[in-house]
Amino acid sequence: MNRDWIATARTLSEALPYLQRYTGAIVVVKFGGNAMGDDDAMAAFARDIVLMRQVGVNPVVVHGGGPMINDLLKRLGIESRFVRGKRVTDKATVEVVEMVLTGLVNKRIVQAIMDEGGRAVGLSGKDDDLMVCEPDDPELGFVGRPIEMNVQVLRDLFTAGIIPVVAPVGTGTEVTETYNVNGDTAAGAIAGALKADRLLLLTDVQGVKGTDGNVLTALTPEDVRRLTAEGVIAGGMIPKTETALKAIDEGVRAVVIIDGRVQNACLLELFTEHGSGSMIRSDNRPPLAE
């Protein structure tokens, strides 16, 4: 008998406890980085999401799209201005953001999931008032911070067996307002409102690293605050860990910062013994039942 077949059967058998553990679980996945611009990586990600749904997980995909936004702004001759390293989003810019995220990027991910045999629906934070925002910083213009979440539409899609794919564009308290929301922030807000079992933040790094340069696989919120104060967690990792802490405060069981460049990263995290990346979990909430 073919040894590869035997190895595949053994892998499936060993995955059974993890498949059972996550049946019915809500898992929010923030998708972004280099994988979004690569057709093969996109297909592999979509296949993993479809498999998650097939075995009883309720996944929600939240995506970014910064490089695509930058490209279209440049082609349209719209100059970007930055304050303290953050893009000022004026009226013209937010129109481009909405066009790229809810149109080009969102539908590309939806199509990739459909191509792998799944059912997916694309929406933004403006649909059914999923994500109502206020200005995050008046100097930044239409950059939003979620203040009200209405996630029933996502639960309705779960019931129908459909995978929601969410673009991080929110509505304001005024009907004419549109806000650009950081993808990690949007994913964290959605995960918190759903009381998700897992929030997976896919990045282009391996995870949170300690002073020795090795990835820290298990952290508590207290660990994160201490490492940030000591300067071990720094730079671009700070917004991700801040998102993780806020999501945990809002009821998410655990947040995992994962290297999205690794093939099958989400499946490795959910359905294998060792997982992948850095898990941040409050000591006050137990993991899913064994």
Q: Which residues are annotated as a binding site?
A: 65-66, 87, 180
| Strands of the chain, DSSP E | 26-31, 58-63, 82-83, 86-87, 120-125, 131-135, 144-149, 163-172, 178-180, 198-203, 218-219, 254-259, 278-281
Give the span between the Cα atoms of 186 and 176, in whole angstroms.
20
Residues tagged in the binding site annotation for substrate: 65-66, 87, 180
Are the C-beta atoms of 149 and 189 separated by less than 8 Å? yes
Both tokens assigned to 229: 């104060």
Q: What does DSSP assign to residue 283?
A: T
- Please name the amino acid found at residue 139: E
